[in-house]
Copies of this chain bind each other. A is one copy, B any other.
């Protein structure tokens, strides 16, 4: 027997979502629990995939199966498609596994033709309704199946209303609608070149194909990418007996939620229209009424609906989003699904439902989308002000939050101005040299660069609002102004940016601080109880560390030491160190940097109150620290007693073709061991000092980056341990410390068994690991990745969500090999993926000990980790 491609509603259930789509599965479930659902059948997602595999054809055996089920539906309903006595009309609607509202197509009233419409008019004694159904069907079918477009028909309706001098569609008479139907058919013939199909079977197959086709329309592809829905899921098609909201004033149609999806309040929320069909609610010509008004209009239907809503909530243990139709005062449920909600509502609903005994804590936390918490953690624009404001441009929503401040075009000017008021740093793109200005700013706006550009990555790390790649902004740095959308904004004048939408405004928009209700704390406490995966933060400063702690981090998984050298008082010393001719000169400069580094580490150790801190040795290529302007080079030349030409030559010699794969990471101490010596000394001294001062027993974790070979790690580790042991002995202190490595180069993952001989811990640097496993330079991939999304090659940005099938193999392999060598090795992830929910779940599954992410993503990671624990129990 072949595969079954069609299911009656009564054959399915809610667990069959993959096969029947969300809508189909829920229609089946509602049927099973006895709710009033007009019956029908579902054509599976597998039929959709077959359709594409067969070159956009429906195979004959599937077509046959569809008609077999149509006959069954006719038996159930006692009506027949195209029959002149008792005609069946059906709706044909898409239904993917994941909800994709409005992305795909729907056809109502299918099965109607000139014979049927007459029967309907006669039997209902309501010719206006019958002709309304017919003209609606012609309109929808033409648009959806034949892709004629809606515009022509809308014009015809407008003309008809103008001729009659009426405003609303409902004011048109049966005769008007009949005329319109004929006009529509003529229009169809002109556009398509053949008569409008009268055979209901032909109509049905055309509609099914159109729904399958709509799975790959442009807006569906875009929606899938934004919501990480794989292209190979396909959509199901639901064929359902029509019930009519447009038969008169005891009829209507509506959409409602079982609770308020904005606030979470436990009260029905939605709207409806009497004497209307589905699309009228959305079209906005008539203003719908709110759902409580239904109580007055039709109390019986209201009570039926309210009971259905409660029953469904109890059944699904979640907020329900429902569609219904009232036909002659009788309620029919057309759809239900778990409702989308704001972060605020999500938290309240979760806490309320647990209190109401509707679900357990474990069930409740699964209902909150972790990424949504983001919006609760950053300031936002005052909604009232936002309604009035018109953006002048739109860039990429690179780091969430809202910011308003005077614009400055250099890191220095931003830093200086920040003493006097809020500041926005506006640059074509930022570099590591801009760190100070970025840290001093309320928000960062760049003209170029993607969501993974330097500005975006650093801003997210800092929790600072950022809009990147806003090409409309043109900066004249020399004359200190920018133009955007025809407006000139001078240095110091105010602009506002929204890092959650990418919108850019000229002028001041007031912001409101994030409010975190008690529900938030409650949910986080549950998450911490449930999760087994640790959550740490990436933090480079005491300020970041303190924020991480506030947001629930258990330690610091990554402290980058490079940002520390960009301060104005440090960068000249750093540059002298880099351009030294001899080891002796280099050691002199390093000796000057030592107390500064020690101070940095003391600050972080104190901020973390004795919790674990992992510090990574210097990672970026040295040339990132070098001056780029002639002025800076001249200064440095004077400082070092060299000629400008000598400095220029050295800077040029340090240039690299592919700096990402160049002289950086542990390759630096292999050539210049004294750099690692200084850093090890600073870390160990800081730990000894803070332990002594505060009575902590910090065990610093020293992390060696970019290792590809165990002997390389051993060489650098020996430098670190020799220095550390010497310092400990000199100070007469007792201090335990650990030396571990980043696993961020494919070869390190492949050789993890050998590397674990030396490494006491692994930290997966999935940013670099992703770059090298894919061969994608993060800085350059923005040029071609859009084509990859458009062409369905990639559904997600591998820099945002960990590529579990490719990069994940390396992570899993390294974890396995590492443990084989050193069973008690501890492992975490410190790439940006550490705060992304699906990646957090992956880390839980492969048995890592912790994830580490930017402080503002810590609550997200805590929730995601708890969800992972529940899902993988």
Which residues of chain A have a CB within 8 Å of any CB of chain B?
Answer: 656-663, 667, 670-671, 706, 708-709, 711-712, 715, 744-747, 750-751, 768, 771-777, 779-781, 783-784, 787-788, 791-794, 803, 805-807, 809-810
Contact = CB atoms under 8 A, between A and B. Distances in A.
Nearest to A671: B787
A670 B786 CA distance: 10
A819 to B, nearest CB: 18
13 contacts: A656-B777, A657-B777, A661-B776, A662-B780, A663-B784, A670-B791, A708-B806, A709-B806, A715-B793, A745-B774, A746-B772, A747-B806, A768-B775
Nearest to A711: B793
Given A711-B792, A746-B773, A779 B658 contact: yes
Contacts of A807: 747
Contact of A663 (B745, B746, B783): B783
Contact of A793 (B712, B750, B787, B809): B712
A766 to B, nearest CB: 13
A663 B805 CA distance: 23
Contacts of A656: 777, 779-780, 783
Given A667-B784, A706-B775, A806-B750, A715 B791 contact: yes
B775 A747 contact: yes
A329 to B, nearest CB: 52
Given A747-B775, A772-B746, A791-B715, A661 B663 contact: no
A783 B662 contact: yes
What 8 A-B pairs have minimum CB-CB distances, sorted nearest first? A658-B777, A661-B777, A657-B779, A662-B780, A745-B775, A747-B806, A746-B746, A658-B658
Contacts of A657: 659-660, 777, 779-780
Contact of A661 (B667, B711, B780, B810): B780
A775 B744 CA distance: 9
Contacts of A750: 773, 806, 809-810
Residue among A747, A751, A803 having the largest count of chain B Cβ atoms under 10 Å: A747
Contact of A771 (B661, B784, B792): B661
Nearest to A653: B783
Nearest to A751: B806
Nearest to A787: B671
Given A658-B780, A661-B777, 6 more contacts: A656-B783, A659-B780, A660-B775, A746-B773, A750-B773, A750-B809
A818 to B, nearest CB: 15
Contacts of A663: 780, 783-784
A129 B750 CA distance: 61
A343 B768 CA distance: 45
A457 to B, nearest CB: 14
Contacts of A803: 747
B768 A747 contact: no
Residue among A708, A715, A771, A780 having the largest count of chain B Cβ atoms under 10 Å: A780
A795 to B, nearest CB: 9
Contacts of A794: 709, 711
A788 B716 CA distance: 12
A674 B660 CA distance: 31
Contacts of A667: 784
A187 B390 CA distance: 93
Contacts of A793: 670, 709, 711-712, 715
A671 B709 contact: no
A775 B772 contact: yes
Nearest to A669: B787
Contact of A775 (B661, B776, B787, B810): B661
A662 B778 CA distance: 9
Contact of A774 (B715, B747, B810): B747
Nearest to A716: B793
B670 A775 contact: no
A832 to B, nearest CB: 18
Contacts of A715: 791, 793
Nearest to A709: B793
A297 B306 CA distance: 122
Contacts of A712: 788, 793
A810 to B, nearest CB: 7
Contacts of A772: 661, 746, 772-773, 775
A784 B751 contact: no
Contacts of A708: 774-776, 806
A52 to B, nearest CB: 13
A474 to B, nearest CB: 13
Residue among A750, A776, A809 having the largest count of chain B Cβ atoms under 10 Å: A750
A214 B633 CA distance: 47
A776 B667 CA distance: 10
A667 B656 CA distance: 23
A772 B708 CA distance: 11
A767 to B, nearest CB: 12
Nearest to A792: B711
A649 to B, nearest CB: 13
Contacts of A745: 773-775
A458 to B, nearest CB: 16
A805 B709 CA distance: 10
A779 B663 CA distance: 11
A185 to B, nearest CB: 39
Contact of A784 (B671, B744, B810): B671
A457 B781 CA distance: 27
Nearest to A744: B775
Contact of A747 (B773, B777, B784): B773
A780 B662 CA distance: 6
B805 A751 contact: yes
A791 B719 CA distance: 13
A706 B768 CA distance: 18
A664 to B, nearest CB: 9
A796 to B, nearest CB: 12
A781 B660 CA distance: 11
Nearest to A713: B793
B662 A661 contact: no
A431 to B, nearest CB: 11
A787 B658 contact: no
Nearest to A661: B777
A807 B708 CA distance: 11
A784 B665 CA distance: 11
Nearest to A668: B784
A558 B670 CA distance: 37
Contacts of A773: 745-747, 750, 772
A644 to B, nearest CB: 20
B662 A660 contact: no
A787 B667 CA distance: 9
Residue among A768, A775, A810 having the largest count of chain B Cβ atoms under 10 Å: A775
Contacts of A806: 708-709, 747, 750-751
A471 B806 CA distance: 43
A34 B392 CA distance: 97
Contacts of A711: 792-794
A768 B658 CA distance: 13
Contacts of A784: 663, 667, 670-671
A241 to B, nearest CB: 40
A225 to B, nearest CB: 14
A662 B793 CA distance: 17
Contact of A777 (B662, B744, B776): B662
